[in-house]
Amino acid sequence: MEIKLNKINCISGMIEVPADKSITHRAVMLSSLAEGNSVVRNYLPSDDCSRTIEAFRQMGAEIKIDDDDLYIKGAGLKLTSPHSGKYDIYAGNSGTTTRLLSGILAGQNFETVITGDDSLSKRPMQRVIEPLSKMGADIKSNDGLLPLIIKGKNPLKAINYENDKSTAQVKSAVLFAGLYADGATTYRESVKSRDHSERMLKAFGADVSVDGNSVTICPAERLTAQDVTVPGDISSAAFFIAAALIVPGSNLIIKNVGVNPTRDGLIEVLKQMGADIALTNMREVSQEPVCDIVVKYSRLRAINIDASLVPRMVDEIPVFVLIATQAQGVTKVSGAKELRVKESDRIETVTSQLKKLGAQVESLEDGFIINGDSGFNLAGAVVDSFEDHRIAMTLAVASLIAKGETVINDSHCVDISFPGFYKSLKDICR
């Protein structure tokens, strides 16, 4: 399905973005593993999160959807085998479902198969297979790719694991497996990745301690049901922040956005570039910092971003590259090789599609070089999302400043993380 979008005058008003995808996945998982009745308020009803909900329903959790909330009767740490049909668990497009679930399945007394769509079937799984095999799980794959056949073991062996990659999905898989281990499991990473799992595990009663970039978890006999409220997703807010910053005359308030310090790299970088962004009404909701964001059109200066910052804005880099096409000077992004193994090869897809709109962007093996002086010359064209939600949304924001009409092919994929994206965008366009 294609969508046709046109240049607009400005962005203004007040909006709320959908709930955080990472936090929704974790809330469904831990509520399903807990004993008792949990409530997940303001969950994200997106395709990816539905895959996690379905998987845990198959394994014994009772999950009722009531408007924006989930009522979950947990199955306890020992799940029931999901045997139904040929393939046991279908993870769709969701890397988070697959990798986090692998950690939980590693500690079960049954065998499970995880499959996914074409994009997920090309994404690397060796990164979870390796630590979980060290812990004693028997995992077979198609040469590091899906399908994963996971034969769990209980108890697993506690390990000390060091990862030179910054990845919250692998960290979370090891921590979840650590719940089923025979002693304390420690995971250490070079640059801290998002820490939603650590925060939520503690809230559900797990014994978790954090020391810099190192996390230790002790085995658990049980987790206790919680009432979790999910904040708005900063990775979804990023598209509206970008729109307000690059469309002249814009002024926007985005309410209820999670600003966990492991996720707020985009805001820090934009402020350094001269962006007029204010965080107001700062508060804490279910162990996560939350605020309202006020953002106004700004003349921006180019900047350099490297591996020390990338993990804090990894999902925002596609839209950041678009913003950089509007900043004075040359921006360089390096240390972002991970983008090559996301829902699409985002270094290639961002570069090729923004070029179609007239931007001066070159790809590097691990990033981008963006010449901002091309900024005012974007022009509409026919572009492809490559079925990658964040590419579709980046191109939709680009269309707001591109002369003429932009046609985005396979535009529906925004439902992976942001159902209703095009309507929300339309509501604030003047």
Using CB under 6 A as the binding rule, whether residue 169 contacts ligand S3P is answered as yes
> What x/- string results for residues 194 through 233 when contact with ligand S3P is judged by CB under 6 A?
x---------------------------------------
Per CB under 6 A, the list member of 167, 236, 351, 411 interacting with ligand S3P is 167
Select the span of 104-112, 161-169, 244-252, 366-374 touching ligand S3P (CB under 6 A): 161-169
Enumerate residues 379-418 that contact ligand S3P by CB under 6 A: none
Using CB under 6 A as the binding rule, whether residue 314 contacts ligand S3P is answered as yes
Q: Judged by CB under 6 A, how many residues of this single chain contact ligand S3P? A: 10
Select the span of 61-69, 166-174, 203-211, 324-332 touching ligand S3P (CB under 6 A): 166-174
Question: In terms of CB distance, is 5 or 101 closer to ligand S3P?
Answer: 101
Question: In terms of CB distance, is 167 or 226 closer to ligand S3P?
Answer: 167
Q: Mind telling me the catalytic residues?
A: 315
Q: Residue 193: CB partners within 8 Å, gap ≥ 6?
A: 166, 167, 168, 171, 262, 311
Per CB under 6 A, the list member of 11, 18, 19, 22 interacting with ligand S3P is 22
Question: In terms of CB distance, is 169 or 331 closer to ligand S3P?
Answer: 169
To the nearest 10 degrees (0 to 180), the angle between helices 168-178 and 21-33 is 10
Select the span of 76-84, 164-172, 206-214, 380-388 touching ligand S3P (CB under 6 A): 164-172
Select the span of 145-153, 162-170, 273-281, 419-427 touching ligand S3P (CB under 6 A): 162-170
Per CB under 6 A, the list member of 158, 168, 290, 413 interacting with ligand S3P is 168
Q: Least distance to ligand S3P from the beta carbon of 208, Å?
A: 16
Per CB under 6 A, the list member of 195, 264, 315, 316 interacting with ligand S3P is 315
Select the span of 58-66, 168-176, 239-247, 277-285 touching ligand S3P (CB under 6 A): 168-176
Q: Least distance to ligand S3P from the beta carbon of 171, Å?
A: 7
Per CB under 6 A, the list member of 31, 46, 96, 326 interacting with ligand S3P is 96
Using CB under 6 A as the binding rule, whether residue 349 contacts ligand S3P is answered as no
Q: Which positions lie near ligand S3P, rule CB under 6 A?
A: 22, 96, 167-169, 172, 194, 314-315, 338
